[in-house]
Amino acid sequence: MSDRSGRQQIGAAIEDAGIIAVIRITEAPRLRAIVDALVEGGVRVVEITMTVPGAVDLIRDLSGSLPPGVLLGAGTVLEVDTTAHVIDAGATFVVSPVLKPALIECCHHRDVVVMPGCFSPTEILTAWEAGADFVKVFPATSLGPAFFKDVRGPLPSVKLIPTGGVTLDNAGDWIRAGATAVGVGTALLDATAIARGDYGVVRANAQRVVASVNAALRLRQGSGGQGVS
Query: Which of 77, 137, 62 lies closest to 107, judged by CA?
Result: 77
Tens of pLDDT, residues 51-103: 999 999 999 999 999 999 999 999 999 999 999 999 999 999 999 999 999 99
Q: How many CB atoms lie within 10 A of CB 7?
A: 18
What is the DSSP pairing of strand 45-49 with strand 19-23?
parallel
Catalytic-labelled residue, pool 100, 105, 129, 136: 136
Structural domain boundaries in the chain: 6-222
- How far apart, in whole angstroms, are the C-alpha atoms of residue 35 and residue 81? 26
The question of whether 47 is a catalytic residue gets the answer yes
159 is catalytic: no
CATH number of 6-222: 3.20.20.70
- Catalytic option among 15, 27, 40, 47: 47
Q: State phi, psi for 14 to the nearest 5 degrees.
A: -65, -45
Q: What is the pLDDT of residues 12-65, one digit of tens each?
A: 999 999 999 999 999 999 999 999 999 999 999 999 999 999 999 999 999 999
Q: For residues 95 and 55, what is the distance between their CA atoms, to the nearest angstrom?
A: 14
